[in-house]
Structures are given as structure tokens and as C-alpha cells.
Structure 1
Amino acid sequence: MKQADAYTILSRRADFLAANRGLRVARPGFVLLANRNEGLGRRAGITVTKKIGNAVVRNRMKRRFRALLRELLPEHGLADTDHVLIGREGGVERDFDKLRIELVAALGRARDGKGDAPRPHNRKRGPRK
């Protein structure tokens, strides 16, 4: 794999917020956000919140997601698109082959423009901790 075929890593908060305005495809182990980025190439980012577990669990999930992105984005990723994987509760215990199949399916749905319904913005949140 040549470096030109790979992807660059999202690191700025603004890029993650922009990706949140794009297409959302939910799967049991993760949520994929895909948003066009106006010619900046194929980019990817990973988010795993503290709700998922302690630092060891979160880092393990991020390592698994990085491996999936490294393997699948060059072939299945969308050109000139930001891809963000958000870890979900059961994602770290999920079988790696299932995650791979789910990511390929999610990227296919994103390519076809078949995202999930947008989340309601007026939903009440619980008390802050």
C-alpha cells in the first residue's frame, strides 16, 4: 500500500464536529460518521468516550479501530470524505471479523447515501456528573 492510497488522521476538534453534520451509520460495535471534506482527501478519526470503560479498555478499542481503518479505508473508504468511528459499549468485546464485516457494510451504506435517521436535537439529557 502506497502512502497516497492511505488516509490522514483527524486531530482538530472542528473536523470531528464537522463530521457530525454528515451521514451517520450505526452498527452494534460503533457508529460511522461520513462527511464530504471538499477535496482534502480521505481522512479518519476515532472517538471513544469514558462511558465505554477505563483507559485500558478505551485504548484497546482504539487500537482495534485503527487496524480496521488501516485495512479497509484504502479499498472501501469514500474519496474526499472524513470518516469518524465512535466506539459503542459492546465494541471492545465484539469479534474482530464481525467488526470488519460491519465496517465494510457501513462504508457501503455511506457510499450509497443510506445513513440512519438523524438524532433528535431537542432530547433531554440526564443530570451532569
Structure 2
Amino acid sequence: MTRETHESEFEVVRMRVRPQFVYVRHGKTERRKSLLVQARRRKGADSDAHMGEGFTATKKIGNAVIRNRCKRRLREAARVLLPQHGKPGWDYVFIARKDTADIAWPRLLDDMESALISLAAD
């Protein structure tokens, strides 16, 4: 696993294998116009040591160029917002929607921020 540190006291670790994504799928979900965010508390001894982040875009979104653009935009938005609004010990999966590629950047940030705040409140 590649580890990325952000401007906080905990690490954000990239999730890359399917079982990690499947585990998060059975957690909480928040839907917005430009993205869908899934979150689930991790079990285990190191559960509070870091947060997990994963990004996905299905073929329904468009061709490879559009899917990659969506994931790049989601990665950058998560880099900015996840350390502020995410909870240590939780894994987050960000799923692109059709509007992710073309929506205005401030709107994408607002959608992600409101979804993360809603997930943290539960």
C-alpha cells in the first residue's frame, strides 16, 4: 500500500484492493449530485492509526479519459477535505458520478464537504 501523509496527525492510506472497497460498501452512504461517498469504521488493532481512502469510477461515467479525470478531481478534493472532516479509524470510498468530470470545482468541493460532514455526524 502506498502511504500519503496529509497536514494532520494521522495518515491517510490509499485503498487499492477489492476486498477493502467491498468492506466499506456495507457502511454508511451519502449521495450528492457530483459524487457518492461511502464510509465504514475499520475493525482491528490499528483501527485508529489512519484513515483509508479509495476512488472509483464505473464505465457508465464514460471512456477511460473521462474516468481518469473524475478520479483525479476526487483525489484532489479528498486531499484537501478528508484531513479536516474525516474520522481516524474510518475508511472512505469516493465514487464518481456523471457530473463529476464537468461540474464546477467549488461545487465539487461543497458536495464532498457536505457528504463528509453528514457521515461524521452519525
Q: Which consecutive residues of structure 1, in runs of 5 or more, have no partner in the other structure?
A: 114-129
Aligned equivalents of 1:68, 1:49: Cα separation in 2? 19
Give, in angstroms, the shift of residue 65 of structure 1: 0.5
Inter-partner Cα distance in structure 1 for 2:99 and 2:8 = 32
Task: Find the counterpart in structure 1 of residue 58 from structure 2.
Answer: 49
Q: Which residue in 2 is equivalent to 1:97? A: 106
The equivalent residue for 2:37 is 32
Residue identity in the other structure for 2:29: R
Of all paired residues, the percent bearing the same amino acid is: 32
Partner residue of 2:15? 10
Q: What is aligned with 1:80?
A: 89
Distance change >3 Å, CA 82–CA 54, structure 1 → 2: same
Q: Which runs of 4+ in 1 moved over 6 A?
A: none
Structure 1-normalised TM-score?
0.82
Kindly tell me the number of residue pairs found equivalent between the two proteins: 113
8 Å CA contact retained: 1:6, 1:70: no
Find the residue that maps to 1:89 and give its secondary structure: coil
- Pick the structure with greater CA Rg: 1
Residue 23 of structure 1 pairs with residue 7 of structure 2 = no
CA–CA separation in structure 2 for the residues paired with 1:33 and 1:2 = 23
Contact between 1:6 and 1:73, CA under 8 Å: does it hold in 2?
no
Alignment partners' CA distance in 1, 2:94 and 2:100: 11
2:37 counterpart letter in structure 1: L
Structure 2 counterpart of 1:26, which letter?
Answer: R
Q: Give the counterpart letter for 2:90 in structure 1.
A: T
Higher relative strand content: 2
Contact kept, 8 Å, 2:57 with 2:67, in 1: the verdict is yes
Residue 59 of structure 1 aligns with an amino acid whose one-letter code is N
